[in-house]
Amino acid sequence: MKDQTPDPAARAVKLSCRNLWKVYGTRPEYYFDTAGYAIEVDPLAARMRREAHVPAAIDVSFDVHVGEIFVIMGLSGSGKSTVIRCLSRLVDASHGQVLLDGQDLLAMPPKALIEVRRHKMGMVFQNFGLMPHLTVLENVAFPLRLQGVGLVEQREKAGRVIELVGLRGREGAFPGQLSGGQQQRVGIARSLVVEPDVWFLDEPFSALDPLIRRQMQDEFLRIQKMLHKSIVFITHDFLEALRIADRMAIMRDGKIVQTGTPTELILNPADDYVARFTSEVPRIRLLQAAACAVPATGETSALPQVSADGMAEDLIDPLARHPEGLALRDASGAPRGVVTPASLIAALAALGSEDGHVAG
């Protein structure tokens, strides 16, 4: 609902994860070595728990499309990091498939995996993971150095991403001399320097305070608008997910309980667990500008023109100044109707009643 053009489902699948399991314990392979018969998910997970194993990811499946931001959410310990680590093969999944451009990552030999990591994947870590003994420039250029890229090219490429994340002028600083937000910018720059297709971010902003976090989210969206990566983003902050997600999955105790767009999750939560995550969200946050538009009845050229891709929330201010209404136009400039105070309220009311019957 949020992302209307183009429809994510219509885009090619970049990364796909099928029936992924990760079990910690003494003998995880024991549960999967009888190939051939269908695994019954819940009984098997229960049995693992009984037998002192930790099923950290249970039968996880989802697709990430080209240029899409896929967010995984869940409480602490619900297995988010485990899933993203399996996707990047930092840990080896116990069972299942991870397909990157149709290639099975889990079956990939080490050499090929190194190549994939060098050119196709970037990852940002919650604790930044900067090398304390390297400067900002050296940290960012590090992946290139591993590839044996020449010094001049290293500098040039690293300089470009450093500029992108707004750290120009701090190239010579050591991580210890930077603030948390700046450090994470370095982490982001480093993950982007090899121009990966797939970008993994494991709670990249959780260690930052709220103001900086907000700023970094904007920055992140700005960068994504330019680069169009396929992204798996982990967070435990629903508002963050709401701001950035095209689609999202909610995890609980290793399982995905629901997948969908943020609005779908709010309006049709699969169970109480999901509902509890979403209950805090003010409804107006969900409303797209386009959703409160009504067909134009008269001449619209006199009205102020606004983008139809924005959120309804952002229209309140302009509406207050122009109570006669706003004309919406989409990216191509085609008219998409008008928004008036009355239409906005009507749309909100509709949302509320829908929501009401869900909560009731």
Ligand X SMILES: Nc1ncnc2c1ncn2[C@@H]1O[C@H](COP(=O)(O)OP(=O)(O)OP(=O)(O)O)[C@@H](O)[C@H]1O
What are residue 12's DSSP bridge partners? none
Query: Which of 6, 77, 310, 318 forms a contact with ligand X (CB under 6 A)?
Result: 77
Nearer to other proteins, 59 or 197 (CB): 197
CB 100 within 8 A of CB 66: no
Among 11, 18, 118, 236, binds other proteins (CB under 8 A): 118
Q: How far is the CB of 203 from Mg ion (least distance, A)?
A: 6
- Is residue 31 a contact residue for other proteins (CB under 8 A)? no
- For residue 95, the cross-strand partners are 21
Neighbour-count burial of 201, counting CB atoms closer than 10 A to its CB (0-12 exposed, 13-18 middle, 19+ buried): buried
Position 61: which residue type? S
Contacting ligand X (CB under 6 A), which of 54, 99, 173, 294? 54
Is position 195 an interface residue for other proteins (rule: CB under 8 A)? no
Closest-CA residue to 41 (of 27, 60, 54): 60
Q: What is the CA radius of gyration of the chain?
A: 23
By the rule CB under 6 A, 273 interacts with ligand X: no
Q: Looking at beta carbons only, is 88 or 278 nearer to other proteins?
A: 88
Which residues, 79 to 98, sit near other proteins by CB under 8 A? 88, 90
Q: Which stretch binds ligand X (CB under 6 A): 59-67, 73-81, 174-182, 328-336?
A: 73-81
**Distance, first Cα to last Cα, the chain:** 23
Query: Is-contact 66 9, C-beta < 8 A?
Result: no
Nearest approach, Cβ of residue 63 and other proteins (Å): 22
CA–CA dist 51, 49 (Å, integer): 5
In the complex, which residues of this chain contact Mg ion (CB under 5 A)?
81
Q: Which among other proteins, ligand X, Mg ion, none contacts residue 216 (Cβ within 5 to 8 A by kind)?
A: none
- Phi and psi dihedrals of 286, rounded to 5? -90, -15
- Residue 80 sits in the site that holds ligand X (CB under 6 A): yes
Q: Is there a contact between 78 and 252 (Cβ–Cβ < 8 Å)? A: yes
x/- string (CB under 6 A) for ligand X, residues 23-52? Answer: -x----------------------------
Residue spans of alpha helices (H) in 32-179:
41-50, 80-87, 110-119, 136-147, 151-164
146 near other proteins, rule: CB under 8 A? yes
Please identify, using beta-carbon distances, which residue of 99 and 207 lies nearer to ligand X. 207
Under the criterion CB under 6 A, does residue 81 sit at the interface with ligand X? yes
Q: How far apart are CA 227 and CA 212, in angstroms?
A: 22
Chain residues binding other proteins by CB under 8 A are 88, 90, 114-119, 121-123, 125-135, 142-143, 145-147, 172, 174, 190-191, 194, 200
Chain residues binding ligand X by CB under 6 A are 24, 54, 56, 74, 76-82, 236
